[in-house]
């Protein structure tokens, strides 16, 4: 009995009290009924696809501008990716383009809240209801973002979050979360993150709970080990995986959630200062933020209007880096241009707005909450100088 008591008090290093605490805090903060902490964003996305019932031959509509991991699971099971073009102002998937892509094979719509600005979700959800589709929100860039008073991850059927070290909050470098407001998915999420072993064994009179408190109900309390300490049953045809988050990461996550409001405010302050500083610079387009949205500025995307600037985006980046010392980066190449997808027959000429965005318009400035006013002023001055230099050189030419 003493050994049993000691075992019962033992601290769990994974899926313990801190994970539960973090999940409860996250669900409350993000306005979702359920939040489940995971190893990474990819795990949340995969679980969402599985619970949506995606199978070979189904079609998933998603934006052309996204990270390749968005489509890795559908491609791996033989589903088809259907790309919808983006809105040229928000860089998010365009609902009007989504509506054009619906077929009788469409199973789900996958939206990506690019750079920290949420997709125009009302028309997306209207399309989904009309055609009986699932909606998955990619919230990797949008932790803390909102749309018409609703938080990212609380509108679609599922929301997948990233707590990687480069994201707006982190859980020791890696980590993720899936959210949902649907009671029917809660049990499936728990099973699919933990090897499908949380089941009732009615025939043996046993019931096991592998949550924070491990307990069992047996026909005979003296034979607690029989027939075994867990069973495995696939959920909806899918086997679970090891997507558990550990207690140390969850403890960090709790602290990061406490700081999220402050970190978001700082990012927004920095983003708005950059926008103000770049007003009136010919050929440079600043971030667009609709009045009913809260942009959380995971990225600050500066766009170049080549006709007005008198030079190409690549020339601008080159001058900005080599002569002004400001290093920028591109996100994301249209995924249908990757060799693997081209070999699968995906049309490289689809989604012209997305292609123009990546190859001719966009670049992303350094962005994090520790940027100082000197850093901001240096970037603004560098962009102003680079654009002036390009205009002057092309005028002489």
Give the closest residue to 197 by CA, choosing from 158, 160, 228: 228
Q: Which residues pair with 112 in a beta bridge?
A: 138
Confidence class for position 14, pLDDT limits 50, 70, 90:
confident
Instruction: Give the pLDDT of residue 211.
Output: 40
- Digit-coded pLDDT (tens) for 165-223: 999 999 999 999 999 999 999 989 988 998 765 433 333 333 334 343 333 344 455 66
Instruction: Give the pLDDT of residue 92.
Output: 98
393 has a pLDDT exceeding 90: no
**CA angle 126-129-134, nearest 5°?**
110
Burial 312-340 (b: 16+ CB within 10 A, else e): ebebbbebbeeebebebeebbbbbbbeee
Instruction: Give the pLDDT of residue 208.
Output: 34
Provide the Cα torsion 122, 346, 90, 326; round to 10°: 150
Q: For residues 88 and 353, is the Cβ–Cβ distance under 8 A?
A: yes
39 has a pLDDT exceeding 70: yes
Half-sphere exposure of 365 (CA within 13 A, CB side): 32
3-state secondary structure of 364: strand
Instruction: Give the pLDDT of residue 220.
Output: 56
Query: Which has the minimum average pLDDT: 1-5, 88-92, 241-245?
Result: 1-5
Q: Which residues pair with 106 in a beta bridge?
A: 59
Tell me the whole-structure pTM to 2 decimals: 0.91
Confidence class for position 67, pLDDT limits 50, 70, 90:
very high
**pLDDT, average across residues 61-89:** 97
Instruction: Give the pLDDT of residue 196.
Output: 61
Look up residue 165 and give its two tokens: 């070290």
Provide the Cα torsion 41, 45, 48, 49; round to 10°: -160
- Digit-coded pLDDT (tens) for 295-341: 999 999 999 999 999 999 999 999 999 999 999 999 999 999 999 99
User: Average model confidence (pLDDT) for the chain?
Assistant: 90
**Could you give the CA distance from residue 161 to residue 131 in angstroms, rounded to a whole number?**
26
β-bridge pairing 34-38 and 176-180: antiparallel
């Amino acid at each position: 009995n003493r050994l049993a008591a000691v075992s019962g008090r033992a601290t769990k290093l994974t899926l313990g009290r801190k994970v539960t605490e973090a999940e409860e805090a996250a669900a409350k903060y993000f306005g979702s009924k359920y939040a489940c902490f995971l190893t990474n964003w990819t795990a949340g996305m995969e679980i969402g696809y599985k619970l949506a019932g995606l199978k070979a031959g189904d079609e998933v509509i998603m934006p052309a501008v996204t990270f390749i991991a968005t489509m890795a699971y559908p491609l791996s099971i033989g589903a088809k990716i259907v790309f919808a073009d983006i809105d040229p102002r928000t860089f998010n998937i365009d609902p009007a383009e989504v509506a054009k892509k619906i077929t009788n094979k469409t199973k789900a719509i996958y939206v990506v809240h690019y750079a920290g600005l949420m997709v125009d979700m009302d028309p997306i959800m209207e399309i989904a209801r009309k055609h009986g589709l699932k909606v998955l929100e990619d919230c990797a860039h949008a932790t803390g973002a909102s749309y018409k008073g609703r938080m990212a991850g609380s509108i679609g059927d599922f929301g997948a979050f990233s707590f990687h070290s480069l994201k707006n909050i982190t859980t020791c470098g890696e980590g993720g979360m899936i959210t949902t407001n649907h009671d029917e998915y809660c049990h499936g999420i728990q099973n699919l993150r933990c090897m499908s072993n949380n089941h009732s064994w009615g025939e043996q009179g046993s019931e096991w709970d592998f949550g924070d408190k491990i307990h069992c109900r047996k026909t005979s309390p003296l034979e607690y080990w029989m027939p075994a300490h867990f069973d495995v049953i696939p959920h909806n045809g899918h086997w679970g995986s090891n997507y558990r988050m550990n207690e140390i990461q969850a403890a960090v996550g709790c602290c990061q959630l406490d700081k999220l409001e402050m970190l978001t405010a700082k990012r927004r302050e920095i983003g708005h200062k950059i926008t103000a500083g770049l007003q009136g610079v010919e050929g440079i387009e600043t971030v667009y933020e609709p009045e009913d949205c809260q942009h959380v500025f995971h990225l600050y995307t500066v766009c170049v209007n080549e006709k007005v600037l008198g030079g190409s985006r690549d020339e601008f980046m080159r001058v900005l880096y080599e002569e002004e010392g400001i290093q920028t980066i591109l996100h994301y190449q249209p995924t249908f241009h990757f060799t693997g997808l081209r070999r699968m027959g995906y049309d490289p000429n689809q989604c012209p707005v997305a292609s123009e965005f990546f190859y001719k318009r966009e670049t992303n400035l350094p962005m994090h909450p520790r940027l100082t006013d000197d850093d901001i002023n240096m970037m603004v001055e560098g962009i102003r100088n680079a654009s002036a230099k390009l205009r002057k050189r092309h005028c002489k030419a």
